[in-house]
Amino acid sequence: MTGLRYSTTGPGMALLTAVFTPFDEAGELALDTVAKQADALLAWGSPAAFVGGTAGEGAALSTAERMALVERWCEVAAGRLDVIVHVGHASLTEARQLAGHAERVGAKAISAVPPYFHRPETVDALVDACAVITDAAPTLPFTYYHIPSITGVHLRASDVLLAARERIPSFAGVKFAANDMVDLQRCLHLAGEQEIFVGVAKLVLAAWQWGARAAIGSVYNFAGPLFRQMLDDAARGELAKAQEYQLRAQQVIDAAARSGGELTGFKALGSVLGVDCGPCRPPLPSLGPEQVAVLRAEVARLGFGVDGGR
């Protein structure tokens, strides 16, 4: 089994993008937009697209829609970008279908949150659920997606890591999207051959200082250059400058959250600072033109513009 390692041997950090799902004004998939998204990632050096996750509103899509989206991403990214497919679902049967499909159409890897309605209550039950999913795509590296604020599964990711690598041959690491710094540090300490993907943009610089060398996030849809500059500065020893970038990024994230919710705000910022992926799918709200203008003005005051804030 080939792993899923994006860590460099040097001081850098790989920034993988959790891409938005594009919709038209009627709320249907706008698959023609995917090629523009892929080109935008390549332009600043993101090595992979994480498709159908939280930012991709995967839980709001039907299984057929999720498959169509993945097929389009694999088509436009072939030979240029890795495609990592989020296959998590409340139903393990649906998750297995998504995993098998990802393998057949050429994805690089799969990832999954645990079942989030009837939830696993122990680490063993969670790993059993992951094993059911990975068995449907045995050739693809698998990353456990730890996001307890959304799933309600608050088992320690570090405990899942230890158990999963003993029982799942394709286990490749953890996407850690939580604010538990102690558990994140433990994951980084225990990682070994597994990759730990930092999933909270506000923590990227701190996690880099602890040894993290890969991240997955939605903010990179429109702020990839800012984070790339921040980490390059940090690698050169210019920590004060890097900290300024991290603070600016945090202020932009907070402004987006105040506008109507983090994902709603992020997708709106993407429409004016990146690739327009249309509205969010209900029940998530979407910002109207006046709200978008207010948000854009607010982030401009923070020194963040079309060049990623540099």
Q: Is 145 annotated in the active site?
A: yes
SS3 letters across the chain: CCCCCCCCCCCCCEEEEECCCCECCCCCECHHHHHHHHHHHHHHCCCEEEECCCCCCHHHCCHHHHHHHHHHHHHHHCCCCEEEEECCCCCHHHHHHHHHHHHHHCCCEEEECCCCCCCCCCHHHHHHHHHHHHCCCCCCCEEEEECHHHHCCCCCHHHHHHHHHHHCCCEEEEEECCCCHHHHHHHHHHCCCCEEEECCHHHHHHHHHCCCCEEEECCHHHHHHHHHHHHHHHHCCCHHHHHHHHHHHHHHHHHHHHCCCHHHHHHHHHHHHCCCCCCCCCCCCCCCHHHHHHHHHHHHHCCCCCCCCC
Question: Average of pLDDT values for 24-38?
Answer: 97
CATH of the domain spanning 14-236, picked from 3.20.20.140, 3.20.20.70, 3.40.640.10, 3.90.1200.10:
3.20.20.70
pLDDT reported for residue 8: 55
* Candidate list 175, 220, 245, 267, residue with the active-site label: 175
Tens of pLDDT, residues 73-112: 999 999 999 999 999 999 999 999 999 999 999 999 999 9
Tens of pLDDT, residues 134-185: 999 999 999 999 999 999 999 999 999 999 999 999 999 999 999 999 999 9
* Candidate list 6, 144, 145, 220, residue with the active-site label: 145
What pTM did the predictor assign?
0.95
The band of 1, judged by pLDDT with boundaries at 50, 70 and 90, is very low
